[in-house]
Amino acid sequence: MRILVAGATGVMGRALLPRLQEAGHTVFGLARTPHGLLDVSLTGATPVRGDVLDADATLRAVREARPEAIVNLTSAIPRRLRVHPEDWAENDRVRVEGTANLLAAAHEMSVRLFVQSSAGYVCAPRGEDWIDEEAPLSTHPFLQATLRMEEQVRTASVPGVLLRFAALMAADAWHTQQSVAALRRGLLPIIGDGSAYLSLIHVDDAVQAVLCALARPDVAAGRIYNVADSAPARMQEVLPFAARVLGAPPPRTVPTFLARMLAGALTLEVFTASYRLSNARIRRELGFEPRYPTYQEIWTQIAQVVSGQDFVPSTDLRA
């Protein structure tokens, strides 16, 4: 199958391109810059220049690749530890305008399947209850762009599948690196009673979910799937384990009010919301089985990769 990957130079894209080629697909990677185009070519995929925020450039790129499937992994998630609502503006444009441009180009080229990355946190937190694909959606203002993007994919003329990823974990991912650095320095505490559930997904398993969807386009089209580990656990379990395998000091416990003062209300919401995502549907319908099914396997693998490395927190959005 001819496949175009948008967001090819991101964490998931870098992991996905080689796996698609190993599976025998003809792979094209969309990139905006000469450096990005070089990165795509080094994987063995064919680089295609384009910016999803430029409708004409997107259409030219899709015409050049002539894909049977498009995988949209584009995002512009803020690289800040203290996040404000305005920091999400570019990501919102990528989600809404970029997806619309790709869908329009996919329609013209009669693409067989449009695989769209989304996030499990579009659903409302549910405490101890499991969150499946039919769970109520969040009404939080900063998620409205992601919800609009999902609606675009659901109502498009192109057959599409939405993959709602849990918190993505990868040794080369900026947010994972910040967590590693903070744990090593004793700066990633358990907030409140630590009872909130955390759903994770290792980048290798996220890529596997994309491959499963592409392998079964007849089943995946029109569906929504949670892509998460098989045993989400509470913060009070996950953070001490992560610290232990990293050789870091045990995390402290910080009252909620103090965390709000230090990190801001929006960051606090992210760290205290409870997401117990169920991956039952994608396992049942597409045969997905995570290689790293629990936080123990995920954090053990991360710790093995980063052993001996010293990640320094950065607030540079261009990092």
Look up the domain containing 111 and give its range.
2-167+202-228+276-291
Pair of tokens at residue 44? 């063995």
Residue 305 · residue 249 · CB < 8 Å: no
Task: Please tell me the pTM assigned to this model.
Answer: 0.92
- Residue 129 falls within a domain, yes or no? yes
- Residue 112 falls within a domain, yes or no? yes
What span, in angstroms and rounded, lies between the C-alpha atoms of 130 and 306? Answer: 32
What span, in angstroms and rounded, lies between the C-alpha atoms of 285 and 299? Answer: 27
- Residue 191 falls within a domain, yes or no? no
What span, in angstroms and rounded, lies between the C-alpha atoms of 316 and 288? Answer: 36
Pair of tokens at residue 160? 């599409």
The CATH number for 87's domain is 3.40.50.720
- Residue 187 falls within a domain, yes or no? no
- Residue 268 falls within a domain, yes or no? no
How many domains does one find in the chain? 1
- Residue 83 falls within a domain, yes or no? yes
Each residue's pLDDT tens digit in the chain (319 positions)? 999 999 999 999 999 999 999 999 999 999 999 999 999 999 999 999 999 999 999 999 999 999 999 999 998 666 655 655 566 678 789 999 999 999 999 999 999 999 999 999 999 999 999 999 999 999 888 789 999 999 999 999 999 999 999 999 999 999 999 999 999 999 899 988 899 999 999 999 999 999 999 999 999 999 999 999 999 999 999 999 999 999 999 999 987 766 666 666 666 666 678 999 999 999 999 999 999 999 999 999 999 999 865 444 433 332 2
Distances (CA, A) of 202 to 82, 196, 207, 305: 24, 20, 9, 13
Beta partners for residue 71, in sequence order = 5, 115
Residue 234 · residue 189 · CB < 8 Å: no
- Residue 242 falls within a domain, yes or no? no
- Residue 221 falls within a domain, yes or no? yes
